[in-house]
Amino acid sequence: APSRSARPKICCPAITPEGTREEPTMQFLLEVVEILTSYIKKTFDKSTKVLDFHYPHQLLEGIEGFSLELPDQPESLEQILVDCRDTLKYGVRTGHPRFFNQLSTGIDIVGLAGEWLTSTANTNMFTYEIAPVFVLMEQLTLKKMREIVGWPNGEGDGIFSPGGAISNMYSVMIARYKYFPEIKTKGMAAAPRLVLFTSELSHYSIKKASAALGFGTDNLILLNTDERFNSCFILFLCSCLQGYVPVYVNATAGTTVFGAFDPINDIADICEKYNMWLHVDAAWGGGLLMSSKHRHKMSGIHRANSVTWNPHKMMGVPLQCSAILVRERGLLQGCNSMCAGYLFQPDKHYDVTYDTGDKAIQCGRHVDIFKFWLMWKAKGTVGFEQQIDKCLDLSAYLYSKIKNREGFQMVFNGEPQHTNVCFWYLPLSLRHLPDGEEKRERLHKVAPKIKAMMMESGTTMVGYQPQGDQVNFFRMVISNPAATRSDIDFLVEEIERLGQDL
Amino acid sequence: APSRSARPKICCPAITPEGTREEPTMQFLLEVVEILTSYIKKTFDKSTKVLDFHYPHQLLEGIEGFSLELPDQPESLEQILVDCRDTLKYGVRTGHPRFFNQLSTGIDIVGLAGEWLTSTANTNMFTYEIAPVFVLMEQLTLKKMREIVGWPNGEGDGIFSPGGAISNMYSVMIARYKYFPEIKTKGMAAAPRLVLFTSELSHYSIKKASAALGFGTDNLILLNTDERFNSCFILFLCSCLQGYVPVYVNATAGTTVFGAFDPINDIADICEKYNMWLHVDAAWGGGLLMSSKHRHKMSGIHRANSVTWNPHKMMGVPLQCSAILVRERGLLQGCNSMCAGYLFQPDKHYDVTYDTGDKAIQCGRHVDIFKFWLMWKAKGTVGFEQQIDKCLDLSAYLYSKIKNREGFQMVFNGEPQHTNVCFWYLPLSLRHLPDGEEKRERLHKVAPKIKAMMMESGTTMVGYQPQGDQVNFFRMVISNPAATRSDIDFLVEEIERLGQDL
């Protein structure tokens, strides 16, 4: 019948594992690599667009035959290759030097190679038994990170987790376990009302953790900061809290929007006075510890009890790569261990303290360490330092370029501490309006409009948001060492081109 | 100076992103691909060892120049390639057809290609803005999975999470939010004492979740099962709990050690009677829903309020790929959302309900969907069914081979429900000993000894553990469709070869 003869010749079940030695299978994989390397080359070619935007309904309808539906019958290998091409075509090039939309950008070739190897090895971090090399790499890298934080001899503990939010959640769990270990078995009912502190500009994951872990978001006190952390207010609150026990303060090293650094030493003094856990959320700022020029911004970080540090942000490691570091050994294990017999047999023939899985809230845990380890080998500590200094230099260039430029207005005073540069762009029609509600309302709509046009033209991407009573402004961040001054110039001119006549 | 001239010519900073168009960079990536494809070919060659075991101190000392230490100065690209080779060399081939050690095994070439593409795209699931295609793929795949679970029209909600333990944690969080939404803001203090139920053979992640979320492990009632779930006992307990509110029951579909399926319909009846949340942990068993021959083992699963299902286990998807499915829409969002302004701007130019990030406890979320979606395209629903049936047939073959074999003794009666086959191997010296404490003590040491010899000879790997008052036994599981009867024969003979004279 004609419909039968139209069926593809190479059908995927041909790639059974038994067939792996055969030519078509390896040929398929190499053709995928061809697609990927060609994608990478284009990503670094600035004449390529950052994205080719489509609305959800367009993609769902199936543009140019690209169907997202899952079939009952197998598709041909040729079709799978087409699907791979289409997936990349309609996606966003986060490695493009003009993609400034998130804290994680760029594409590091050695990191990428590391991730390809990781998925080929396809193993799990829970035991030394099935991940001997990766477990040791994790251990050595965590120790190095703790040394850089400044804990004596790099002593302490830690684990790589699936992102900064989970790392921050760990910090709250460990703090609770340190002061009220009985909560593990008896629940929150066994403890007095516990209070946590963070600044209102801190990452929302602290709030998520306080909800998830049973503290309740009402018991997380959000400190007003005026861009900087008001440590005096904690002092005041601690002294007048009645019937509540303050246990935890999160200091942010590099806030998400402003890139501000809380004064760690001031906060550490208060934590010592009131016997509270000091966590430093350096998910974004941690990379600056690699820079002798910038690490002073985190002065006092060695006094923290725990630190979140995401190499997948400022250090350019492919997603995901986030570490929670803990100064005191044993707490992670004590807090989370459940001693599952089928994984953590005590009678193994090697030292089972290398089986780190029971420290985690996860069971299976993705291998996030290898790409980071490999990049460190390839760049050396000095390479990371250069890369980070370069990004900060670029943001200083942006700041000096727009701080007095016609139509641009900075959101906060002074030089940015991190690569975050926050600004409003005022179209011509708004520049001579008197300050007031009308101007605010109109300005609030400018950034979303420019952003929408940017995405539709696909030339560049940058984030925006309101913050407190400040209407929508652009937040520029730079974490991709491939970006250059000409990309910064381009962004500024593109905003002017798109927004001038709004 | 000689030491200078000995320095490598191609140094990694040459792979700056600007240099990506240059030959050396792409050459490096292709050389890594060469290493990886050669690794894959060897993995499917049964004459290759499963592992080349070394003790931690050996690897830490640096075998044959393989140094794990992180350098200050960059290493050469040649050295990076050597590091990649060494990392694979001293690792474990989890894709080898004789690796039976975990629930996640095998290496699917299309899945692998999907993961390579994912890491090249290097984006994040939190918004449609930066992951339009992946967000839609996730939505369609979750809907398909809910249809297969049996919820009308596949309605409901869900999310991919970093592993089954986190998916199970989500189920407890959502159940709590459903009955006591005020806990999100007021904490556990706002609710009465809540009780959770699970079987003692369920996965330890339920216990981890009850500790982490502030319930306390004492308030998780572990039901005695005698291999099967005792639903009458829940009924009894619910009727006599005074001052406690039972809210949640976890039924396991495919326990970790025995592969047993709890009677979902019986448990659903009790949950309806007492208005409790029914979660089905089908992390391991979920794959069987794809098989018309085996899905009856989960009869009643459509009555669950939530389901954990890990495609990275029985469906052979590369790690990590785990879904939490929820029958009622809106709960995930309600439970976790914090409305961060910098990510989830309400004034975007597309339908922001596609921004799924605020449903998660994570902020950044790795793209776990693409490899699964691509495999589904390549195999079709029928391909997954064949693959799963094949693994179950193989385990039936193993069971029939050893159930009456000299020296082998089954741990539980009757045919395995899943691919788990649990057995003791008795060396000649133990076979004629009378039952009693001496025999138990000696038998307890047999499996660890055989396992250690297996790992040192590198020929095969299978797990063991004690369970309750049963001394160490082997747990055989099959999830790699590349395994054949000859691999099963090999395992049985290898255990006899290594263990006979113990």
Q: What is the pLDDT of residues A408-435, one digit of tens each?
A: 999 998 999 999 999 999 999 999 999 9
pLDDT of A418 reads: 97
pLDDT tens readout for residues A143-182 = 999 999 999 999 999 999 999 999 999 999 999 999 999 9
Contacts of A345 in chain B (CB under 8 A): 448, 464-465, 472
| Chain A contact probe: residue of B101, B109, B222, B252 with most A CBs at under 10 A | B109
Q: Do B109 and A214 touch (CB under 8 A)?
A: no
Residue B290, min C-alpha distance to chain A (Å) = 11
Instruction: Mention every residue, 6+ apart, whose C-beta is less than 8 A from residue B437.
Output: none
Helix intervals (H) in B351-445 = 369-402, 428-431, 437-444
Q: Which residue of B has its CA nearest to A319?
A: B122
Residue B223, beta-bridge partner list: B199
Phi, psi (deg, nearest 5) at residue B277: -75, 130
Contact A70 B183 (CB under 8 A): no
The residue in chain B having the minimum alpha-carbon distance to the alpha carbon of residue A465 is B342
Chain B residue numbers with beta carbons less than 8 Å from the beta carbon of A386 are 13
* Whether residue A393 has pLDDT greater than 90: yes
What residue type is B308 in one-letter code? T
**Residue spans of beta strands (DSSP E) within B32-183:** 99-100, 157-161
Give me the domains of chain A, ranges plus CATH numbers: 2-93 (3.90.1150.170), 124-366 (3.40.640.10), 377-499 (3.90.1150.170)
Residue percentage of chain A with pLDDT more than 90? 87
Q: Any idea what DSSP says for residue A151?
A: -
* pLDDT tens figures, A215-224: 999 999 988 8
Q: CB distance A59–B16 less than 8 Å?
A: no
Q: Which of B249, B236, B267, B269 is nearest to B194 (CA)?
A: B249
Instruction: Provide the pLDDT for residue B256.
Output: 96
Cβ distance of B72 and A380 shorter than 8 Å: yes
Q: How confident is the model at residue B341 (pLDDT cuts 50, 70, 90)?
A: confident
For the record, the structure tokens of B491 come out as 């395992």
Distance CA A471, CA B336 (A): 25
- Which of B55, B113, B80 shows the shortest CA–CA distance to B370? B113
Calpha distance A219→A210 (Å, rounded): 8
B125's tokens: 């699931």
Nearest by CB to B162, from A43, A162, A164: name it.
A162
**What are the residues facing B100 on neighbouring strands?**
B462
Q: Are residues B465 and A342, on separate chains, in Cβ contact within 8 Å?
A: yes
Cβ–Cβ below 8 Å for B211 and A336: yes
* Residues of B in Cβ contact (< 8 Å) with A335: 211
Sign of CA dihedral B186, B191, B197, B200: positive
Q: What is the pLDDT of residue B229?
A: 59
CB contact under 8 A, B185 and A131: no
Assign 3-class secondary structure to A192-228. Answer: CEEEEEEECCCCCHHHHHHHHCCCCHHHEEEECCCCC
Query: In this model, does residue B462 exceed pLDDT 90?
Result: yes
pLDDT tens readout for residues B276-319: 999 999 999 999 999 999 999 999 999 999 999 999 999 999 99
Nearest to B103 by CA among B55, B50, B163: B163
Contact A169, A209 (CB under 8 A): yes
Q: Are A131 and A123 in contact (CB under 8 A)?
A: yes
Pairing mode, if any, of strands B421-425 and B408-410?
Answer: antiparallel
Size of interface A-B (CB pairs under 8 A): 526
Task: Supply A348's token pair.
Answer: 């193994």
Of B306, B363, B368, the residue nearest B332 (C-alpha)? B306
CB contacts of A363 in chain B (<8 Å) are 163-165, 203-205
Confidence (pLDDT) at A13: 38
Can you give the pLDDT at residue B128?
97
Of B186 and A13, the structure prediction assigns the larger pLDDT to B186
Q: Is the pLDDT of residue B347 over 60?
A: yes
pLDDT value of position A322:
98
Residue A114 tokens, joined: 């590391």
Q: Which of B147, B347, B476, B486 to mutate to test the interface with A (most CBs of A within 10 A)?
A: B347
- Does B57 have pLDDT greater than 90? yes
Q: How many CA atoms lie within 13 A of A190 on its CB side?
A: 18
Size of chain A, expressed as the number of residues it contains: 502
pLDDT tens digits, one per residue of B87-96: 999 999 999 9
d(CA B64, CA A458): 50
Residue A226 in this model has a pLDDT that exceeds 90: no
- Pairwise CB contact (< 8 Å): A362 & B130: no
> If you search the block for the tokens 């659903």, which residue do you land on?
B268
- pLDDT score of B24: 78
**DSSP code for A416:** -
Shortest Cα–Cα distance, B95 to chain A (Å): 8
User: Between β-strands B306-309 and B322-326, what pairing exists: parallel, antiparallel or unpaired?
Assistant: antiparallel
ipTM: 0.95
Contacts of A498 in chain B (CB under 8 A): none
User: Which residue in this structure is represented by tokens 């300005």?
Assistant: A443
Confidence of residue A317 (pLDDT cuts 50, 70, 90): very high
- The answer to whether the CB of B315 falls within 8 A of the CB of B384 is yes
Q: How confident is the model at residue B22 (pLDDT cuts 50, 70, 90)?
A: low
State which residue of chain A sits closest to B69, comparing Cα positions. A140
pLDDT single digits (tens) A242-268: 889 999 999 999 999 999 999 999 999
- Whether B8 shows a pLDDT value over 60: the answer reads no
Which of B102, B465, B472 is the closest to A130 by Cβ?
B102
Contacts of B121 (CB under 8 A, 6+ apart): A87, A88, A91, A94, B134, B367, B370
Nearest beta carbon to residue B87 from set A117, A122, A124: A117
DSSP B78-95: HHHHHHHHHHHHTSB-TT
Confidence at B3, pLDDT banded by 50, 70, 90: very low
The mean pLDDT value for A84-91 works out to: 98
pLDDT, tens digit, 9 for 90 and up, residues B83-129:
999 999 999 999 999 999 999 999 999 999 999 999 999 999 999 99
Tell me whether residues A74 and B20 touch, CB distance under 8 A: no
The CA distances from residue A330 to A128, A157, A359, in Å, are 18, 7, 9
Residue B337: closest C-alpha in chain A? A208
| CB-based burial label for A227 (10 Å; 0-12, 13-18, 19+) | middle
Q: Check pLDDT > 90 for residue B25.
A: no
- Asked if residue A316 has pLDDT above 90, the reply is yes
Does residue B371 contact residue B111 with C-beta atoms inside 8 Å? yes
Distance between first and last Cα of chain B:
60
8 Å CB contact of B130 and A381: no
Please state, as a whole number, how many other Cβ atoms lie within 10 Å of the Cβ of residue A500: 14
Residue of B122, B129, B164 with shortest CB distance to A319: B122
Beta strand pairing call for A421-425 and A408-410: antiparallel
* A-chain residues near B461 (CB < 8 A): 130
C-alpha A400: how far from chain center: 27
pLDDT, chain B, mean: 93
Q: Cα separations (Å) of B437 from B361, B412, B430?
A: 49, 20, 12
Residues 6 or more apart whose CB falls under 8 angstroms from that of B307 comprise: B149, B279, B280, B282, B286, B301, B324, B325
**Phi-psi category of residue B310: left, alpha or beta, with phi > 0 → left and psi -120 to 50 → alpha:** beta
Of A71, A320, A364, the CB nearest to B104: A364
Share of chain B above pLDDT 70, in %: 94
What is the pLDDT at residue B238? 75
pLDDT tens figures, A9-32: 333 333 444 444 456 788 999 999
The residue assigned the tokens 């730079």 is A478
The answer on pLDDT for A323 being more than 70 is yes
Task: Determine which of B61, B70, B442 to mutate to test the interface with A (most A C-beta atoms within 10 Å).
Answer: B70
Smallest CA–CA distance, residue A193 to chain B, in Å, is: 8
Give the tens place of pLDDT for each residue, A476-500. 999 999 999 999 999 999 999 999 9
d(CA A77, CA A15): 9
- Which pLDDT score, from 0 to 100, does residue A413 have? 87
Report whether A162 contacts A320 (CB < 8 A). Answer: yes
Average of pLDDT values for B378-388? 97
Beta bridge partners of B187: none
Shortest distance, CA A216 to any CA of chain B (angstroms): 4
> Which pLDDT score, from 0 to 100, does residue A24 have?
78
A443, containing H or E segment: helix A437-444
Residues A32, B102: contact at Cβ < 8 Å?
no
Alpha-carbon distance A219 to nearest alpha carbon in chain B (angstroms): 7
Whether B188 sits inside 8 A of A187 (CB atoms) is yes
Q: Where are the beta strands (DSSP E) in A438-480?
A: 461-467, 470-476
Coil, helix or strand at residue B453? helix
Query: The tokens of A169 are what?
Result: 């959640």
* CB-based contact B342 A104, cutoff 8 Å: no
**Cross-chain Cβ contact B13/A173 below 8 Å:** no
CB contact at 8 A, A267 and A231: yes
The model's pLDDT over A445-474, given as tens digits with 9 standing for 90+, comes to: 999 999 999 999 999 999 999 998 999 999
pLDDT of residue A5: 36
B71 has pLDDT over 80: yes
pLDDT at B227: 47
Residue A35 above 90 pLDDT? Answer: yes
For residue B1, the model assigns a pLDDT of 33
Helical H segments across B275-309, by residue range: none
For an interface test with B, which of A81, A167, A377, A498 has the most B Cβ atoms less than 10 Å from its Cβ? A377
Q: What totals of helices (H) and strands (E) does chain A contain, helices first?
A: 17, 12
Q: Is the pLDDT of residue A236 over 80?
A: no
Answer whether B75 sits within 8 Å of A380, measured CB to CB: yes
- Answer left, alpha or beta for residue B252, where phi above 0 means left and psi between -120 and 50 means alpha: beta
Taking an 8 Å cut-off on Cβ atoms, the answer to whether A124 and B104 are in contact is: yes
**With contacts defined as CB-CB under 8 Å, which chain B residues touch A74?**
377-380, 382-383
Chain A residues touching residue B35 (CB < 8 angstroms): 117
AA identity, residue B137: M
Look at residue A20 in the predicted model and tell me its pLDDT: 43
Compare CB distances from B17 to A21, A106, A121 and report the shortest one's residue.
Answer: A106
Asked whether the predicted pLDDT for residue B77 surpasses 50, the reply is yes
- Most B-contacting residue of A172, A363, A453 (CB-CB within 10 A), to test interface: A363
Residues of chain A contacting residue B47, judged by C-beta atoms under 8 Å apart: none
Scored b (16 or more CB within 10 A) or e, A278-297 reads bbbbbbbbbbbbbbeebbeb
Give the pLDDT score at A341: 85
